[in-house]
């Protein structure tokens, strides 16, 4: 008989969204299998099933998952991205009292009864680290004998030209982490882990952009005149050669302020010249040659580390695509943390 094949790592993926965690586990190449995936959002589930036809994906409220049911699945690793509204700068900051936290609190309740779970990876928004919820999470981890490390990381520290600062926690039951402590939150991956096998991404926006957008397709993404006239002062306009872009949120294209960058599609025109002309007489036609447009869902997915084979079902509207991507996570950042956790 040949050498024993190492046991597959069984993943339970909670709040699975459009499958960012699943893609991260594939990219990390740790010999893992997502045995069960749960989310309550119907449109997210449609996209997930479209891309992962083999996975047992269920539309369930996580509060309906009992310790008994989870133990039957024998998961080694729980990956999760719980709802973040309770902690966001635009949320009401109700924290633990927010009803959207109840599924996460349920999970912390059953954690001590989970027999096979030896690893946890969690993603959340910045602000979580200062919440009551985080204290409850850390307390539960400690009482179950986990050691953990916390991070605040953005894709920009991975040379990806997009900022998306997020809170991450990794925890395991055996051994310890050879870096950091449980009292500080790290803002970079330890240098000896930035392994050479990680593809160094392209530093400018250009390689992430769709090539050969037809005029017809381009027309769908151009900023409307009324948006240009009303919001030109606050638009974050990027060039293809730029090495950064703002975080894309779920309200991208719906609200102009702070929801993500826009792109100057035509590189031949001078941005400063055209804006100077526009400022003189307020005639929006001066801006037309710049072809200011929204980043397409595919481009945002590229910046977020989703692989080329990821796609949306045809019937998902543009606005829903932006919303789902805005609620998702950076696949490359998560896969790097996953590698560290499983080493």
Active centre residues (catalytic): 84
Closest CA to 334 of 76, 25, 115: 25
Give the β-pairing of 262-264 and 292-294: antiparallel
- Bridge partners, residue 237, by sequence: 262
Whole-number pLDDT of residue 202 = 73
Q: What region does 63 belong to: left with phi over 0, alpha with psi -120 to 50, or beta?
A: alpha
Domains and CATH numbers, the chain: 9-196+330-342 (3.40.50.150), 211-295 (3.90.120.10)
Long-range (24+ apart) CB contacts under 8 A made by 97-102 are 101/133, 102/63
Give residue-wise pLDDT tens across range 122-170. 999 998 998 888 999 999 999 999 999 999 999 999 999 999 999 999 9
Residue 48's contacts (CB-CB under 8 Å, 6 or more residues apart) are 16, 17, 18, 19, 22, 37, 39, 55, 57
Q: What are phi and psi of 265, to 5 degrees?
A: -75, -40
The pTM of the full predicted model, rounded to 2 decimals, is 0.93
Give residue-wise pLDDT tens across range 74-122. 999 999 999 855 554 444 454 445 556 788 999 999 999 999 999 999 9
């Amino acid at each position: 008989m040949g050498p024993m094949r190492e046991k597959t790592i069984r993943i339970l993926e909670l709040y699975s969204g459009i499958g960012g965690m699943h893609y991260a586990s594939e990219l990390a190449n740790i010999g893992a299998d997502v045995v069960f995936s749960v989310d309550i959002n119907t449109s997210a589930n449609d996209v997930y099933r479209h891309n992962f036809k083999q996975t047992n994906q269920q539309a369930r409220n996580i509060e309906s998952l009992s310790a008994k049911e989870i133990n039957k699945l024998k998961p080694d690793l729980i990956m999760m991205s719980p709802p973040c509204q309770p902690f966001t700068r635009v949320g009401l900051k109700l924290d633990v009292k927010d009803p959207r936290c109840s599924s996460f609190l349920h999970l912390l309740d059953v954690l001590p009864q989970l027999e096979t779970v030896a690893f946890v990876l969690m993603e959340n928004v910045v602000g979580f680290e200062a919440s009551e919820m985080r204290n409850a999470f850390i307390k539960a981890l400690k009482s179950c004998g986990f050691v953990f490390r916390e991070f605040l990381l953005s894709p920009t520290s991975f040379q990806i030209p997009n900022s998306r600062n997020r809170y991450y926690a990794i925890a395991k039951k055996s051994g310890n982490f050879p870096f950091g402590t449980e009292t500080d939150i790290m803002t970079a991956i330890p240098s000896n882990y930035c392994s050479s096998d990680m593809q160094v991404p392209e530093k400018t926006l250009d390689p992430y952009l769709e090539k050969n957008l037809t005029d017809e397709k381009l027309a769908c993404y151009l900023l409307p005149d009324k948006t240009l006239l009303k919001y030109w002062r606050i638009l974050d306009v990027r060039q293809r050669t730029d090495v950064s872009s703002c975080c894309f949120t779920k309200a991208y294209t719906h609200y102009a302020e702070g929801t993500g960058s826009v792109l100057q599609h035509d590189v031949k025109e001078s941005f400063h010249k055209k804006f100077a002309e526009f400022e003189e007489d307020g005639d929006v036609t001066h801006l037309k040659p710049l072809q200011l447009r929204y980043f397409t869902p595919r481009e945002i997915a590229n910046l977020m580390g989703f692989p080329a084979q990821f796609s949306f079902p045809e019937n998902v509207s543009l606005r829903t695509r932006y919303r789902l991507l805005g609620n998702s996570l950076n696949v490359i950042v998560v896969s790097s943390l996953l590698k560290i956790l499983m080493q």
